[in-house]
Structure 1
Amino acid sequence: MPKDQNFIEEVLLDYKEGMDYVSEQLPRLTRKYHAFTEVCFAKGKLQTKDKQLMALAISVVMNDDYCMVYHTKMCVDEGATEAEILEAVGVAAAFRAGPSLSQAATLIRDAIEAFEKEQDSSSSDN
């Protein structure tokens, strides 16, 4: 079920108010942080839209609601289409699932083998 417009606006407002508070408490840090991120998202070898799509995908992997909403807005503002946004989210979903499958293919498999050997060893001791 899609979130209504008010929810999305509330998320953005909550983020802004929170950042305003942190900026009042830690002005030097937040100025430096904003300067850093401004440079990171500026057009370079990659277009700003591509950087925003990357940030959106990362926010999905990190499960960061505020960044998902913020970077979706930034993607739209940079001219990303719905298809581009959803493709970036698809890559994020694949990446998020990948570590689980990798662990199953390696660590979990190794643990099963170790526990089965341990079980066989203790069975033969009886």
Structure 2
Amino acid sequence: MSTQATIDRKVDAYKTGVGAMSDKLPQLTRAYHDFTGECFKQGALSAKEKQLIALGIALFANNEICTFYHVQEAVSAGASDEEVLEAAGVAAAVGGGHAMSQGVTRVQQALQSVQG
């Protein structure tokens, strides 16, 4: 199976799952879609910028389906390959910064507490 077919299958599985949830909890899923629709519409930030932000968060959260989805949406909103890859780079910097900030604070605090 091609990479694109795998990605499409996973995104479609999510959409199918949302449809099934909507059958059982229509108000909840409608509220979620209304909320996300409002969040992603053009505003002070462009739709493309919002999709690139979402991509970075999806990468940081290790959310595969959202990663695939927001790459597709960012490109659809006009993002170039370079912009998408730069967003991935920023997510990597934040992820590394997250680990580093914990290392220089919590880890050192923990070491101090066990060394008494």
Give TM-score, length-normalised by structure 2. 0.93
In 1, Cα distance between equivalents of 2:105 and 2:71: 35
In 2, Cα distance between equivalents of 1:99 and 1:93: 10
1:61 corresponds in structure 2 to 60
Cα RMSD after superposing both structures: 1.2
The structure that has the greater radius of gyration is 1
1:74-104 per-residue CA deviation (whole Å, 9 max, x = no partner) reads: 0110010011001111111111121211111
Deviation (angstroms), 1:41: 0.5
Deviates more, 1:94-103 or 1:64-73: 94-103
2:20 corresponds in structure 1 to 21
In 1, Cα distance between equivalents of 2:31 and 2:105: 41
Equivalences for 1:1-126 in 2 at 5 Å?
4-117=3-116
1:23-44 per-residue CA deviation (whole Å, 9 max, x = no partner) reads: 1111011111111111110100
Secondary structure of 2:79 counterpart: coil
Secondary structure of 1:43 counterpart: coil
In 2, Cα distance between equivalents of 1:11 and 1:98: 30
Consecutive unaligned residues in structure 2, runs of 5 or more: none
Consecutive unaligned residues in structure 1, runs of 5 or more: 118-126
Give TM-score, length-normalised by structure 1. 0.86
In 1, Cα distance between equivalents of 2:19 and 2:64: 18
User: 2:31 is aligned with what amino acid?
Assistant: K
Which consecutive segments of 4 or more residues in structure 1 shift more than 4 A?
A: none
